Amino acid sequence: MPLHIVVCAGIVPDPLQTLEPITGPNGPALKNEMMLPAVLDPWAASALYEGANLAGKNQGSRLWLVSLGPKAKLQQVLMTIAQKVSFELFAVDSPSGGFADAHATAAALSEAIAAIPGLDNSRLLLFGGWESASRGAGVTLQIIGERLGITDQFMGVDQIDFREDGSFEVLERVEGGRHQVSVCSGAPAVLGWATGNLPEPRNNPQIGMANMRTVMPALQKAKLAALSNGSLQYLSASLPAQQRQTRVVKDMPPEAIAQELAEWIGGE
Amino acid sequence: MPESILVLTHTDESGLLTKCSLETVSAGKELAERLAAPLTIGIIAAEPTSAAQALRGCKARVLSVCGEVFAQARYATDVAGCEALYKATDATLILAPQSSRIARVAAGFANRIAGSIDTHINSIRSTDSVEVSRWFYRQRIEASMTRSARPWILLIEGGVYPAFTPGEGEVLPEKILVELPEIHTTVIGTRAPAQDAQTIRPDARMLFVAGAGWTKKQPDGEVHTSQAGDLILTFLDRTGASLGSSKSLVDQGGDGQPVLPFLTHMNQVGQTGSTPRHPRGLATCCHGEEPHVVGWRFISERRAISLDPNCGWTRGKADVVYVADAFKVMAQLNELLGSKA
């Protein structure tokens, strides 16, 4: 059955960058945010790779990547991502970041998705990360789903298996390192992905060339969206102040280290 | 504006209120007392009467949405249940546990009631207004904030408040009718990852973090993945510790490199993994920011074994770093732990 898969994926600072909060005109922000190298949000990237895999298995399926962020940063990240899987881009030009309100982000994204030409809601699978690496709230995707009228939602998804009748089995992460197994009768549905099971695809310049033919025009057409924080007011944003006095133990034989650790483990 | 508080709770497979739910009850009770606000507790359960006994002495109105459809966690029914409980109270502040069941539906619920939501809350203060704190950028920046709009839903992280301890008396929950939607999803059950033993133990006293060094070449020029696996599993068996892993170690499976067969992405801690809460943590063969900064943000006592004396990521993050070969130390440690057993 051909599917219409829409993947919502934002961009976040490269995880290895040092982050420092500052107070901007609209609340907290990151110091030198526009200078920090960015990557596609890791859990949303899992969603993109899983979506591309699923679209490849279901002939006639289409895959859209919907991303909200500053146009220049999106372009930088897409130069890499576009080489991994085929997709059609829908971009929303907007300042993004962890301190933006998820409600406003969800409203802008749901409007962008509703405006995708040719999107068939009865075949729609809305993918994204179950949480972002910036705000990490796990809110945006659910609200988009609600705004689009989708009442089958799954979060922390690691696996989806489609059946011939269009239904699918889905594995969601629950407490204690287990998965909840559910069967949904079919699209439309929202799936917030955890890591899934697929490795990151290798860069393929041919896919990149094909994607860039549509990515650049899509970026040029990206509509500007101003995100309001509504009633949300930040009072402070700071790095954790606590620094531990680390005792570095060198030249201690393994037996002595083991003894010390055993006492520590056994102690109350 | 006078506040009124609704605490949403749910049961586990045994039909009892989850620990996380009881912690949220404590949070709600404390906040209600500070604000002098009425407190209502809502239970989502197949059969709420026995579960409600955990709320004896709570001095709150107790409501429930019940029936077989609430025996399992499912978006369509749970969001309808939350909505019905809210409509029965018109609360301004709604507190709920940050559990997989509630996290699946809370934002959708917020949208339905035209409310706001903030998740992963680790503290609530109330002076002139209600202020909350949470982490951003994967536990790297902590911010406090407030909202003037109501209703405001807050999901409370586990381990922040003590679980509510029941008192005397009997609780009879009022049953609230729910307008159920058409159900398209059937919950089959739960499945543990395919591995010999469950290595993720949320209630363990210790987190053992395995880094990629376990599968790298050792001083003899060979990799010893099988030995590494034995050492780690023996340690877990003898201590009851929970196993966490760095992303690079878990990812090796996808890259065709030697792997520890019992590891899955579920074990991953850090930027794209979990941030578990345990009293103690021991990191081994980790070199990198994620396990030390993000993965064990909520670990109280932290020690590490690393061959790299210059590993800057542990400095200021761990209490003790042993510069040593983890293979040798863990072998000795397992022997000691075995002799004590």
Q: Are A60 and A4 in contact (CB under 8 A)?
A: no
Whether pLDDT at B290 is above 60: no
Name residues of chain A where pLDDT drops below 50.
none
Q: If DSSP codes are grouped into helix, strand and coil, which group holds residue B93?
A: strand
Interface pTM, i.e. ipTM: 0.93
Residues B163 and B235 in one domain: no
Q: What are the counts of helices (DSSP H) followed by strands (DSSP E) for chain A?
A: 6, 15
Nearest Cα neighbor of A93 from A74, A69, A60 is A69
Pair B151, B86: CB distance under 8 Å:
yes
Determine, yes or no, domain membership for B196: no
**Cβ <8 Å between B141 and A238:** yes
Residue B188 lies in a domain: no
Phi and psi at B186, nearest 5°, equal -110, 125
Interface check B310 vs A, CB under 8 A: no
Question: Do B40 and B110 have their domain in common?
Answer: yes
| Within-domain flag for B180 | no
**What residues make up the domain containing B69?**
5-175
| B52 CB-side CA count, 13 A | 25
Asked whether residue B230 is assigned to any structural domain, the reply reads yes
State both tokens at B84. 């019905």
- Any idea what the Cα angle at residue B94 is, between residues B88 and B96, rounded to 5°? 110
Q: Are residues B269 and B328 in the same domain?
A: yes
Tally the domains of chain B. 2
* Residue numbers in A near B100 (CB within 8 A): 155-156, 172-175, 180
Within a domain: B113:
yes
Of B105, B187, B329, the CB nearest to A254: B329
Confidence of residue B99 (pLDDT cuts 50, 70, 90): very high
Do B169 and B25 sit in the same domain of this protein? Answer: yes
Shared domain for B76 and B18, answered yes or no, is yes
Predicted pLDDT at B253: 63
A contacts of B135 (beta carbons < 8 Å) = 136
Question: Do B148 and B220 sit in the same domain of this protein?
Answer: no
Containing B52, the helix (H) or strand (E) segment is helix B48-52
**Which of A15, A141, A173 faces B271 most closely, judged by CB atoms?**
A15
Pair (B151, B20) in one structural domain: yes
Report the candidate in B185, B246, B195 with the shortest Cα–Cα distance to residue A160: B185
The answer on B161 and B43 residing in a single domain is: yes
Is B14 an interface residue toward A (CB < 8 Å)?
Answer: no
**Domain positions in chain A:** 4-224
Query: What pLDDT, on a 0 to 100 scale, did the predictor assign at position A66?
Result: 98
Residue B222: pLDDT band (50, 70, 90) is confident
Query: Are both B20 and B101 inside the same structural domain?
Result: yes
Asked whether residue B197 is assigned to any structural domain, the reply reads: no
The answer to whether position B13 is within a domain reads yes
Domain CATH code at residue B126: 3.40.50.620
- Residues B58 and B169 occupy one common structural domain: yes
User: What is the predicted pLDDT for the residue at B324?
Assistant: 92
Q: Are residues B168 and B275 in the same domain?
A: no
- Express as a percent the part of chain B with pLDDT over 70: 93
Give yes or no for a contact between A52 and A86, defined as CB atoms under 8 angstroms apart. Answer: yes
- Which CATH number does the domain housing residue B274 bear? 3.40.50.1220
B242 and B334 share one domain? yes
Q: For A144-148, B48-52, B138-142, B154-158, which range has the lowest pLDDT when averaged over its residues?
A: B138-142
Which pLDDT belongs to residue B197?
66
pLDDT number for residue B193? 62
Residue B255 has pLDDT above 70, yes or no: no
pLDDT tens by residue, A180-198: 999 999 999 999 999 888 8
Asked if B188 and A176 come within 8 Å (Cβ–Cβ), the reply is: no
Quickly name the fold that domain A4-224 has.
Answer: Rossmann fold (3.40.50)
Q: B201 in a domain, yes or no?
A: no
